[in-house]
C-alpha cells in the first residue's frame, strides 16, 4: 500500500513539476496565451508569467518533493527523513489552507484563478499534504 501511495504522490506532484518546467520553457499550455495563463495560475493581476528561472526553481523543488516518497520507504525511522516528510506535508497543507483565507482571497482576485483556486488548487494541495502524512503513518506501522 505504501508503494501505491508513493506512486500516486510522485505522479501528482511530478505532473505539477512538469507543468512548471514547461512554463519555464515558454509554453502557455493549457491556455492560449501568456496573459491567459498568468490569469489562470497566478491570479494577482499580472499579464505575464513569472520569469523562467522562477518557474524552473519551483519545478526543481516540486520534482524533489515528487521523488521524496521513494526515499522515505524503509527510512522513516531516521529523524531527518521523518522531519523532511512532515515539512513537505506542512508546505502543501499550509498552501491549501491559505488558499481559503480572507487575506488570500483579497489578494488573488483575478478570474479564473480565484475560482480555480477555490475549487481545485487549494483542495489539491490539501490532498497532497494528507497524502504525505498518510505516507508517514503507513511507514510507521511497518
Range of the domain at 43: 2-140
| Dist. CA 104–CA 101, nearest whole Å | 5
Model confidence band, residue 114 (pLDDT cutoffs 50, 70, 90)? very high
Does residue 91 sit in helix, strand or coil?
helix
pTM reported for the whole predicted model: 0.94
Residue 142: is its pLDDT beyond 70? no
What whole-number percentage of the chain has pLDDT above 70? 99
Model confidence band, residue 67 (pLDDT cutoffs 50, 70, 90)? very high
| Dist. CA 118–CA 17, nearest whole Å | 21
Stronger pLDDT, 141 or 138, i.e. the higher one: 138
Residue 92: is its pLDDT beyond 90? yes
Lowest pLDDT segment from 15-19, 70-74, 116-120, 135-139: 135-139
pLDDT at residue number 118: 97
pLDDT at residue number 134: 95
Selection from 31, 17, 32, 22 nearest residue 52 by Cα? 22
> How many structural domains are present in the chain?
1
Residue carrying C-alpha cell 506501522: 141
Amino acid at each position: 500500500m505504501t508503494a501505491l501511495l508513493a506512486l500516486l504522490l510522485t505522479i501528482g506532484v511530478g505532473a505539477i513539476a512538469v507543468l512548471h518546467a514547461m512554463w519555464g520553457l515558454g509554453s502557455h499550455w493549457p491556455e492560449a496565451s501568456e496573459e491567459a495563463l498568468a490569469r489562470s495560475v497566478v491570479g494577482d493581476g499580472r499579464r505575464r508569467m513569472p520569469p523562467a528561472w522562477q518557474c524552473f526553481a519551483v519545478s526543481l523543488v516540486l520534482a524533489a518533493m515528487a521523488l521524496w516518497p521513494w526515499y522515505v520507504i524503509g527510512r522513516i525511522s531516521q529523524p531527518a527523513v521523518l522531519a523532511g516528510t512532515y515539512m513537505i506535508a506542512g508546505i502543501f497543507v499550509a498552501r491549501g489552507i491559505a488558499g481559503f483565507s480572507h487575506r488570500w482571497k483579497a489578494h488573488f482576485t483575478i478570474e479564473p484563478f480565484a475560482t480555480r483556486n477555490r475549487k481545485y488548487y487549494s483542495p489539491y494541495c490539501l490532498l497532497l499534504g494528507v497524502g504525505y502524512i498518510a505516507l508517514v503513518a503507513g511507514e510507521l506501522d511497518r
